[in-house]
Every structure is written in structure tokens, then in C-alpha cells.
Amino acid sequence: MEGWESGPTERRAGSSPCAYHPRRRAVAVCVRCGEAVCPECLRVEDEGALCPHCSGSGEPVPAEISWDDAESGTTASGKRAAAAGVCAYHAGRPAVEVCSICSTALCRQCLREGSAGALCPDCHTLHSPADGRRSNTARPLERSSPLASVRIGSAEAAEERVSLSPWAGVCFLPFPLMLMLLVTWLVNRGEGFGWGTSVLMISILLYGGLIFFVALQLRGASRPLLILGFRRDGLALSLAGGTLAGLAAFGVNFALLSLSMRLMESWNWLDRWLRGLMELKAYDASGGWDLAATVAVVLILAPLCEEVFFRGYLYAAMRGRLDPLYAVLLNGFLFSLVHFSLYGVPGRLALGVALCLLYEHTGNLATPLAAHAVNNLLALLLPMLSR
């Protein structure tokens, strides 16, 4: 294997087409003739990657799929043609290593260990000592979850070599919350603060901290908005879909809130205590400034900043490290916890899960942002209309 010691950059075929299948991207080059080969044409011998002609195996494996499927990326070959830095099998997950034989980019789940070092599942199969033979037919790895096919922020971040760490975000989250609790306590001790001023000041501290953290994590990225999921293509459809989803999400949220209040009536003291931590005892003026500040926080600041942090950053980071289903559930759980309401945990958990799924399905942060804003709008209007 001496011919492979020069490193992965010299072995990578980049975006070159396969010499035998021109409409497919190559994943390796032949060490003898330098021909670029796709996964079906790749042959692996002791000296490294070979094309079918140099390996003496004859013609390349005929395509078993249509070119349209290969171009759309819905097949194993399409997934393996992912750009460097993104897993070739899971297009939404950042790569952590490349195969020491064919240079295929791999995420943690796809990484295999062999005598040659890091291996992709195909090369690991070719070198498997189970039956003492090597097969020329690679077996592609299928996705472990149906959610793993959509390209969202973690893919763009991996291409720009930006590390999205979910655990850094989880560890940071308590700090702006504790700061907000401290400021709430100070406001309640003092006098002279109106409702609008108090709400706006506390919200700026909380959401400013979240946005500052995200900006710090994405420093150096040339396309930070794209990494966070802001896309112009399909924007109108995303906003319309998010609006309809927000209406449905509010109904589910309200129903779960009513149910939890009945089932957990004996825990009313805990819910009152939690809400009391965030309750403002400022002067309850009903002027235009108070209404404007409340609307700005509830309909603009809260949806925008929470979606940027929880879905645009934290969910994308979780999705790159965890199974997408676990990432959805964990993100929704954390989203529900930061709202300081025991009765609201089931409803906000369902809302957080729905917002993650909307982002997962569309790949555009505008969809969950619109749904979040509609949910907050209805939650703001309902008490006013019930008076």
C-alpha cells in the first residue's frame, strides 16, 4: 500500500466524471493509468484503487439504475458523490474522516476500521476476512433514518469547515437564562419601569446572548445565513406552509396545555413557582409603547432569535452528530424547558418537534419561523379576545 501514503488529497477524484460512466462523479482514480472511476467501476487490489481495465476484470459493472436517478442523488451512487467534507452516504452529516483506500468522505456512523486504517463500508466489505475472498461488488450503506436525506445547515457548515457543536450550545443555554432571571429580579425590586421597557430590556439580554453565541460559532464562515437555513429559493411557499403549520401547531399546543392542567392539577404550586421566576411586577401601563414593545418581542424577536438558535444552529449541530429522530426530540425538549412553565412542557415539546420537522422537510428556516410567529400571534390574541 506504499502508493497510498501521499495523503487523501492526491487520491481524491474531486468532481471529475467517471471515465466509463461520464454522467457519474468519480470517487477515486486508478493508481496505474490515472483514470477516474465511479463506485461501480472501482476495483481494489493490494496496490490500491484500479479501474476495470487495469485490474483485468474486463468491462465495468453495467448501471442498474437510470441516469435520472443517479443525477438526482436518490440512489447509493448519488449519495456517494457528495462534496468533500460531507458524508458520501448521509448528505446532511459532516464528514470526520476519509477512507484510506478510496477517499470517500465519512461521518462517524459510516466510519469503519481495518488493517489499512479508516475505511468506508464498501472498502471494509471488500477487505473483510469473513470468507477469505474479496468481492468486486461493493455494497452501499443505506440510510439509517428516513430523515437523513434532506440537506440542511450542517452540510453547508461542513463544506466551509465550520464546526457546529451541539454540546457547546447546550452548555451555553443556561447562562442567558440565569442573566434574564437576575434582571427580572432586579426589575421587580425597583420602581419606575413600565411593562414595555421591562419586557424589551429582558428580551434583548436573552436573545442578544443567543445571537451573539451563534455569531461566535460561525465566525469566519463566508455564508453564515445559508448555514443557518436562510434561503431565498421557495421563500413564498415556505412562508405559506409555515403559516398553515403554525395554525395547526397552536391548536395542538393549546389542547395539550389544557390536558396537562387537568392531569397535573396537584402540581399547580410548582407551575406557579416556575412562572413566578419570570413574572414581571412592573407598572402595568396600557399605553401604545407597552403594546408596541410586546408585539415586537412576541412576533419578531422571539420567533427570529429562537429559531436561529434552536433550529438554525442547535438542531443542525445535533443532526450532524445524532440520529435525526433523537435530534428532533432532544431539541424539542430543550425548547420546552426554557419557557419556565410546567403545564406548558407537553405543548411546547410538541411545538418544538413540529418546528424541527418543518425545517427538516423544507431545509428553509423561514418555514418554522413563520409557524412560530403565527403560534405566538394566536397566543397573544387569545387572552385579549376572551376578555
- pLDDT at residue 290 in the model: 79
Residue 233, domain extent: 153-385
Q: How far apart are CA 8 and CA 186, in angstroms?
A: 57
Q: Which of 80-84, 86-90, 356-360 has the lowest mean pLDDT?
A: 80-84
- Same domain? 210 vs 272: yes
pLDDT exceeding 90 applies to what percent of the chain?
Answer: 24
Which residues make Cβ contacts (< 8 Å) with residue 41, sequence separation at least 6? Answer: 18, 19, 20, 21, 51, 52, 60, 61
The model carries a pTM of 0.61
Number of Cβ within a 10 Å radius of residue 380:
14
- On the question of pLDDT at 8 being above 60, the answer is no
Query: Can you tell me which residue has the cell 445565513?
Result: 225
Backbone angles phi, psi at 384, to 5 degrees: -65, -40
Split at pLDDT 50, 70, 90, the class of 341 is confident
- Same domain? 205 vs 124: no
Closest-CA residue to 53 (of 23, 32, 24): 32
- Same domain? 225 vs 250: yes
- pLDDT at residue 151 in the model: 52
- Interior/surface letters 3-25, b for 16+ CB within 10 angstroms, e for the rest: ebeeebeebbbeeeebbbbeebb
Alpha-helical regions (H) of the chain: 8-11, 52-55, 67-72, 76-80, 121-126, 153-159, 166-172, 174-189, 195-217, 224-227, 235-263, 268-278, 288-296, 302-306, 316-321, 324-337, 345-362, 366-385
- Same domain? 136 vs 252: no
- Same domain? 12 vs 115: yes
Give the C-alpha distances (Å, rounded to integers) separating 119 from 95, 103, 179, 318.
Answer: 13, 9, 47, 24
Cell numbers for 82:
457528495
Q: How far apart are CA 122 and CA 127, in angstroms?
A: 9
- pLDDT at residue 116 in the model: 63
Average pLDDT over residues 16-27: 72
The greatest distance separating any two alpha carbons of the chain, rounded to the nearest whole angstrom, comes to 87
Average pLDDT over residues 298-322: 92
The tens digit of pLDDT for each residue in 189-228 reads 765 567 777 888 888 888 999 999 999 999 888 888 988 9
Domain count, the chain: 2
- Same domain? 88 vs 179: no
- Same domain? 182 vs 161: yes
- Same domain? 179 vs 318: yes
Q: How far apart are CA 170 and CA 190, in angstroms?
A: 32
- Same domain? 122 vs 161: no
Split at pLDDT 50, 70, 90, the class of 309 is very high
- Same domain? 277 vs 374: yes
- Same domain? 280 vs 348: yes
Domain boundary residue among 144, 162, 190? Answer: 144
Domain boundary residue among 112, 144, 176? Answer: 144
> Cα torsion for 265, 270, 272, 278, to the nearest 10°?
-140
Average pLDDT over residues 78-94: 57
- On the question of pLDDT at 140 being above 50, the answer is no
At 86 the three-state DSSP class reads strand
Q: How far apart are CA 141 and CA 144, in angstroms?
A: 9
- pLDDT at residue 15 in the model: 54
- pLDDT at residue 40 in the model: 73
- On the question of pLDDT at 263 being above 50, the answer is yes
Q: How far apart are CA 374 and CA 249, in angstroms?
A: 9
Average pLDDT over residues 149-175: 71
Which residues make Cβ contacts (< 8 Å) with residue 99, sequence separation at least 6? Answer: 106, 118, 119, 120, 123
- Same domain? 273 vs 310: yes
- On the question of pLDDT at 166 being above 50, the answer is yes
Domain boundary residue among 88, 122, 144? Answer: 144
Split at pLDDT 50, 70, 90, the class of 53 is confident
